Chains A and B, each alone.
Chain A
């Protein structure tokens, strides 16, 4: 406690030291960048979950096949105060007069849907949000109405009982299932039970949907997971909406990366500033020690001073992070569902912790050496011998950086990759600089005298020069990485979702209808029409062994195997598909060939040359796996796990799947089409697309904000690196001046010095950005065709050299007009 009064006394004076201001600014930046991204990311995540919940119809679902859930599932939900909705899903026939139709039936209680909207149309065409039908009522979609020749108010026969058509089903939460194959009907659950459709032997899958506060939902999920009977599974909103997730994951990886690099840049600036602070304080500390202050007291004094500055900086950083997150959220509001999830300060506080780690990791090494300054340093200014313990301490930033990357949710691969590449850049910079400095030292003898002085002084301050060039290289590498990778990623996304991306799908187009369908779409103003053949069947055997006898790793895989399969064929690999193993189909293969998505193949352990048996209606087809494809599932195209060779595909019963673009709000123009081709079902995915675009726009905005942080952090590194030697340089220049160095000589000397420093930094920095950027694009951001653009990189190198040189010159220029004696007295 004794250390306190002098500590506070000195605080105001300390604050005037430029290196402490750099340190504080760097800390603020690190915390603000990490915090803003984390809290923004958390909110976007929540918003996406809310969206997905709307599509699922609840926050959580439990589903079982063929049998009802145990009653305690419902009891537990009631205990936790969750809303509940029971439903069952099954195919069933319906009759009206002479007409009959197989319907995809949802039998539900009136609570449906708990989240999202069920859009219904009344007889007069008015569209409204409704709930589950009352007993004796049924909702039918347009296809069902058409197939059964029904109108709203008519009565149909279902499971032996008459049901009145109460409304037309426009849209319903459907778990994100884009392609429902049969016409749909919604009936009351009690009616279905009364009709005996849910009894033993029925093919119904039962579902309990739940809605409530996140904490209760999480608690229920934990409970349910432990009590799930065989054949039952949990459905979470995260399972829904794969495409949104793909896009979001990539965006959040990049966002976190930027925040992280800003934090690391800040760390470098902090390390440089702390080192400079330590050097400045040597005399003071040595004197205190000589006057008899024990080490502990000196340490306490330093810790109090720095600690109070750090605390203030952390607080400002957290505040800034919250303000920025709130602001960014406000700007992106229109794109996201209301009400907005609450802004939580937990991520910002986490960022403060991370900031503290950065501070400790990067500032501790130089400062602990300061604490161990021996009293005899009063006579000879030095930090004392570098002991092994101190040397090891200098490695501290490494685990801190790795920890940061891991904590940012980057995963081990990203952490290791990024960490290794940063270490690589640092090591390369150190090696190259050391070599160039040695070279400079030798060639200096033959250089122009003024250049020689510059090069020589760079070479003579070897340790400091190395530090400067490593810091500059790392900073530059991080900045270039961001500057080069970010725009490429954004533009790639925008290319993926051009304005004429198909926003309508048509199912069940028969072969004979293709020409007239194309005509109809063109008349309605549709463009970009694309038709793909669609075969619906089942996987029956793998290498001759029936699915029922196969051993699968888990229940999920078995479910995948038993699911209805959609197959297509194509003469060329479709856009967004690339063959990664084997070869594309031969022209007229004797045996059927199939090309399999790599992920799908991995799930079933299928290799090239395996044989898959398919059952399509009454037909059976054995096909050999001749290629594996990498499929970009987040591109907004229709993709297939399995593609057949065209010759054999053609022989199977198939219809056509069409996609086309129609300007938004023009849906009514398709009415003629649905009247002319009643069997074709048209699906509007505009809202889904709009959501995807919204994410891209929002992420783009967020990226720019966060990129600003890293630019600032980069500038801080530059300033910190250049001012690291400012004191020495000022003294040196003043002395040279007393010895009669003229303006030209001083300027040339500093040009030689800084141009060299800038060149080393530019070279290794660019190299690092090139390598890391390529690696990131391929492995983390899924941009297979990304090539680091060379021209901006070269430009950036040039800019670096010029900026470093100019900044160095600016520092020298100030000295030229003042008298050298004054400068020497100031030291």
Chain B
């Protein structure tokens, strides 16, 4: 289960004054469910996703991930939790430029010290249609291909919860549909909880819940 209570995020803007990005957000995604976060650009979707995944701390409020109160943990403990429980697809991919596609995907397995790592990584890349691009470096891949490497990296270690920030933003309709099918296949086969940020209505419609952010507040919830 993933739960957020009264979560706020304030940052100091370059001008010096406080900027409220998120304001008392509440949400709840049951285990094995899928949720889509939608909203206008700059409404705070990425910020919320980062907080839910434990990549950052809220200014106020409480977040519980799979029974662990993230907001009570320090960065070190959150890191260990992420390793076991979380997969994350960044809006800007965040691949390591010095590593090949395969090596990028290997990283979470290496951190876990998992066995049979190379085979599993190769499998994950095959699943996103990049079986022939294993040795390519990010600079040699197109935007959509980089995005698929990022997705493979996010699920290769079979996380409990998978967060994805606009996972189909750079993909054509067919490839995008293939990636979405893959995510929901994971959701069904392994009970992986999905939390997606998307502008894609088709994708949003397939999710169990839909949350709309407007100026840092949850405006509407459809279940």
Contacts and interface: CB of A to CB of B under 8 A. Distances in A.
10 contacts: A381-B139, A731-B96, A737-B75, A739-B153, A740-B82, A741-B79, A741-B111, A743-B79, A819-B75, A821-B50
A738 B94 contact: yes
B107 A449 contact: no
Contact of A461 (B56, B98, B139): B98
A191 to B, nearest CB: 92
A824 interface: yes
B76 to A, nearest CB: 5
What are the 3 tightest A-B residue pairs by CB atom distance, in nearest-first order?
A740-B83, A740-B82, A821-B56
Interface in A627-662: none
Give the interface SS of chain B, mostly helix, strand, loop or mixed: helix
A821 B98 contact: no
A777 B164 CA distance: 65
Contacts of A736: 107, 111
Nearest to B94: A735
Contacts of B108: 739-740
B14 interface: no
Contacts of A381: 139
Contact of B98 (A449, A728, A822): A728
Contact of A824 (B86, B94, B112): B94
Interface string A694-731: 00000000000000000000000000000000001001
Interface in B80-124: 80-84, 86, 88, 90, 94, 96-99, 103, 107-108, 110-113
Interface in A421-461: 449, 452-453, 456-457, 460-461
- Most chain B CB neighbours (cut-off 10 Å) among A382, A731, A741, A816: A741
B75 A460 contact: no
Given A728-B97, A739-B82, 18 more contacts: A380-B139, A382-B139, A732-B98, A735-B94, A735-B107, A736-B107, A738-B55, A738-B88, A739-B111, A739-B153, A740-B79, A740-B84, A740-B86, A742-B83, A819-B56, A819-B57, A821-B50, A822-B56
Given A380-B139, A449-B110, A453-B110, A739 B83 contact: yes
Contacts of B82: 738-740
Nearest to A449: B113
A457 B76 contact: no
Contacts, number: 76
- Most chain A CB neighbours (cut-off 10 Å) among B96, B108, B139: B96
B55 A743 contact: no
B81 A735 contact: no
A457 B75 CA distance: 23
A735 B55 contact: no
A57 interface: no
A818 interface: yes
A586 interface: no
B150 to A, nearest CB: 11
Interface string B130-162: 000000000100000000000001000000000
A824 B103 CA distance: 20
A818 B94 contact: no
B96 A449 contact: no
A132 interface: no
Contacts of A460: 98-99, 103
A457 B98 contact: yes
B85 to A, nearest CB: 8
Contacts of B97: 728
Contacts of A821: 50, 55-56
A737 B96 contact: no
- Most chain A CB neighbours (cut-off 10 Å) among B55, B80, B90: B55
Interface string B43-78: 000000010000111000000000000000001100
Interface in A475-519: none
B111 to A, nearest CB: 5
Nearest to B76: A743
Nearest to A382: B139
A742 B50 contact: no
B98 to A, nearest CB: 4
A741 B108 CA distance: 8
Nearest to A458: B98
A728 B99 CA distance: 12
Interface in A367-383: 380-382
Contacts of A457: 98
A826 interface: no
Contact of A816 (B76, B84, B94, B110): B76
A817 interface: yes
Contact of A742 (B79, B99, B139): B79
A449 B108 CA distance: 11
B166 to A, nearest CB: 16
A382 B138 CA distance: 12
Nearest to B109: A449
A745 interface: yes
A818 B75 contact: yes
A822 to B, nearest CB: 7
Interface string A14-38: 0000000000000000000000000
A637 B79 CA distance: 74
- Most chain B CB neighbours (cut-off 10 Å) among A380, A453, A818, A821: A821
Contacts of B57: 819
A745 B76 CA distance: 11
Contacts of B56: 819-822
A742 B83 CA distance: 9
